[in-house]
Structures are given as structure tokens and as C-alpha cells.
Structure 1
């Protein structure tokens, strides 16, 4: 079963592993520091993908305000799915869910 949900402090360890999959080796302590700061910033949002209770993906997004339009946009600033789960669902579910966000005029996504 797949679940996309808001990231929580309990996800810090698997998120640090996922950052390594992106090519940015990250310790649990570093991810804890980053996630704490990101979580306190209202324009940032982090989601994780779970498969059978295991965190296998994450996406970090930031809400932006463009100069050339009236509606905000969402920018994908981190997107990763564990190598063992790529092309098996979580990555496609993320992109579909991201592209259907309410009140967002455009999306900058690496999907």
C-alpha cells in the first residue's frame, strides 16, 4: 500500500538516506537541523512516500510568488525515490498529486 503524507520528525533518518540517493550524503544530525528549519518556514512543505510502512521517497516544495502572474506557484526543490522503488508507483503518484494542487497556477517540477 502506498501513502503520501506530510513529513514528520520520525522521518528524519530515512530522509537523510534518501538525500544520499540524490548524491548529497547527509547525516541524521544534518537532516534533523535542516528539517527543523524547513518545518518552521511556512512557505516550505515536505512530503514522504510510504510503501508498507517504509519511507521510500520524499519531495520538498516551496511556495513562490511570481512577478508576471497573480497566482502563486510551487517549486519542487527536492524529489527522490529510493532506487529500489523507482518506476514502481511512488514517483508517478507524486507527480500526479503535485500537478493537481489547488490554487496553484504553475508548477516547476522535475517530473
Structure 2
């Protein structure tokens, strides 16, 4: 598959089945109902975008990003919250094309940088090699604290 056979477009509600399948394939168990609720909330938020990659009219990947503001300096940045490419379409330029689309949007909005986090699970190691090839630099260490909603 050549990159020029890919089309990137805005997410549409009818895409939710494909996004659910891709999200599950990446190792994040998700039901259709959960994904419908998530995407319904996200698509109505200002400064949030979801784009899908199509090959032969099938969704083979998606990217979700949002606009964030700095506290420590003027301006804003874009944060990639999700980048998912189907297993059969990895290493074929889909992720690169989705990130290029995100970069174009970042430039249009005047963003100073694009930030992303990548999990440190074993199966994510190939992604750790992928991002530097597109100009991303390892920059920070992230931490997570789960909130117990029962208290």
C-alpha cells in the first residue's frame, strides 16, 4: 500500500465500529457502547479533533488530538491522545500520514509543539523507534495516579 492510496478525513459517527475494533486490537478492551459515548463527548468539544485514515474505503487507523495551553510560557501546543493503526497496516506509512495531518493542523492553529505519550509496555517498543523518525524527541517522564472514585 502506498501512502498516496490513503485518505485522511474527519471522524464521522458511522466510524465508531472501526475505531472500537482498532482500539481493542491495540490492547484496550472497549465496547461499542463505550466508544459511542466517548466519541459523542469528544466530537462536541472545542479544540478536540479525531481523524481517520482510509485505504480502499476501510478505516485502517485513527488519530485523536487536542489543543492545550502552557502555564510556563505563552502560546499553546497540540497533544496527540490517540494514534492507532491496525496490525495489518503498520509499517506502511499510515501512522506517518496521520501524524503529518496532525502537524498540518498544529501549524494552522499556531501551536508551538506537538506532545505525545507512549506506553512503556513491551508491545509499544516499536512505537518508541517510530516517533523519533518523525522528529519527536524523548523529553519527559510521565506518571499516573489512579483515582479511587469510591472514596
TM over 0.5: yes
Q: In the alignment, is residue 8 of structure 1 matched against residue 12 of structure 2?
A: yes
Selected match of 1:76 from 76, 80, 88: 80
Gaps of 5+ in 1: none
Q: State the alpha-carbon separation in 2 of the partners of residues 31 and 10 from structure 1.
A: 11
Gaps of 5+ in 2: 119-130, 132-151
Q: Is the 8 A contact 1:17 1:25 kept in 2?
A: no
Task: Tell me the matched-pair count.
Answer: 111
Selected match of 1:94 from 79, 88, 98: 98
| RCO comparison, higher one (Cα < 8 Å, 6+) | 1
TM alignment of 1:22-61, pairs within 5 A = 22-61=26-65
What are the superposed Cα offsets for residues 44-75 of structure 1, whole Å, 9 maximum, x if unpaired?
Answer: 11111001100010111111001122221110
SS in 2 for 1:68: coil
Larger radius of gyration: 2
| Greater strand share, structure number | 1
Could you list the structure 1 runs, at least 4 aligned residues long, displaced by more than 6 angstroms after superposition.
none
CA RMSD of aligned residues (A): 1.3
Q: In the alignment, is residue 108 of structure 1 matched against residue 115 of structure 2?
A: yes
| Greater helix share, structure number | 2
TM-score by length of 2: 0.69
Q: Deviation of residue 25 (structure 1)?
A: 1.6
Q: Deviation of residue 98 (structure 1)?
A: 2.3
